[in-house]
Amino acid sequence: MFDPLDLLTRLGGLAQGTQLQDYGVTRMQLSKAVRGGRIERLRPGVFATPAAAADERDAARHGGALTCAAALRNLGVWVMSTDAAPHVWVGRRGRVYPHSGCQCVSHYFRSGRVRFGVVDVETALVHLYRCEGEESFFASLESALAQRKLTRSARARVREALPTHARWLVDFARSDADSGLESLLRLRLHLLGIALDCQVVIAGVGRVDFVVDGRLIIEADGKENHDGTTMRHRDLVRDAAASALGYETLHFDYAQIMHDWATVQRSIIAALKRTAQRA
């Protein structure tokens, strides 16, 4: 006979009472474990271990599994969103359960059996598109592809789940983007009709994020990769080497790409005009 806490732990930390009873755990055992503080009753018929993640517990209280940006963030996928509210997949005809302090956002789209915990990357991406739109979806899609978190068949199912007019985003996505910033920059410039060569290796310089028209280097400098004196010095050395070869280099950081895109766009267009005149 299973111990309620041990069984809950094996099942991922969250489960319905009926599922636990299928393994032979009795209602009396569950009640005793709850009274002793070994497990928690989140709502009638739903139980959790004390170690279960807080956002997953909230999702289970609400009636489903963590999805959208919250799920992708937990799964290690880059997301644009800073929304801390749990987004919960309750299924196409799911029931939502009121609970104290609820800030949950319910997702009903997509059929399938809803379990507790965190949905898979495929489902979370589909919900993200419907919740936050094309840019957010595209950046997270490329992050998932770069980390090999999405199989070829799952990618095809994500594409099929999108509206017809948005499926080109999946076709356009690459699996070698180093960051969500790169993905956003490439998507936005593509929509302006500017084609980029991605992850280009230049002799004497190294690998750069993008090259445009063979003369303009564009780098998307994520905070984690370009902070500190040593990294700044490395960037300056690379820029000087690129300049000696006839390249102009533009660097844009997270705040510029995310919050001041108009200035970024003007800067790139102006640089392209200069390089065209020199050519």
Alpha carbon distance 81, 170 (integer Å) = 20
**pLDDT (0 to 100) of residue 229:** 63
Residue 273 corresponds to which tokens in the numbers above?
């005009």
Integer-rounded Cα radius of gyration of the chain: 24
Tens digit of each residue's pLDDT (9 = 90 or more) over 222-231 = 755 545 566 7
Task: Return the ∠ at Cα 151 (arms to 145 and 152), rounded to 5°.
Answer: 95
* Model pLDDT, residue 243: 85
User: Which letter, b or e, does each residue of 73-91 get, where b requires 16 or more Cβ atoms within 10 Å of its Cβ?
Assistant: bbbebbbbbebeebbbbbb
Q: Which sign, positive or negative, has the C-alpha torsion 121, 126, 127, 132?
A: positive
**240: its two tokens:** 């000087």
For 27, the 3-state DSSP assignment is helix
H or E segment to which residue 17 belongs: helix 17-22
The pLDDT profile of the chain, 279 residues, written as one tens digit per residue, is 789 999 999 999 999 999 999 999 999 999 999 999 999 999 999 999 999 999 999 999 999 999 999 999 999 999 998 888 899 999 988 899 988 888 999 999 877 778 899 999 999 999 999 999 999 999 999 999 999 999 999 999 999 999 999 999 999 999 998 889 999 999 999 999 998 999 999 998 999 999 999 899 999 987 555 455 667 788 888 889 888 998 999 999 999 999 999 999 999 999 999 888 876
Residue-level pLDDT at 233: 82
Nearest to 119 by CA among 82, 75, 65, 80: 65
Q: Are 165 and 238 in contact (CB under 8 A)?
A: no
Q: The pTM is what? A: 0.89
Domains along the chain?
A: 176-279 (3.40.960.10)
Tell me: the pLDDT tens digits for 3-17? Answer: 999 999 999 999 999
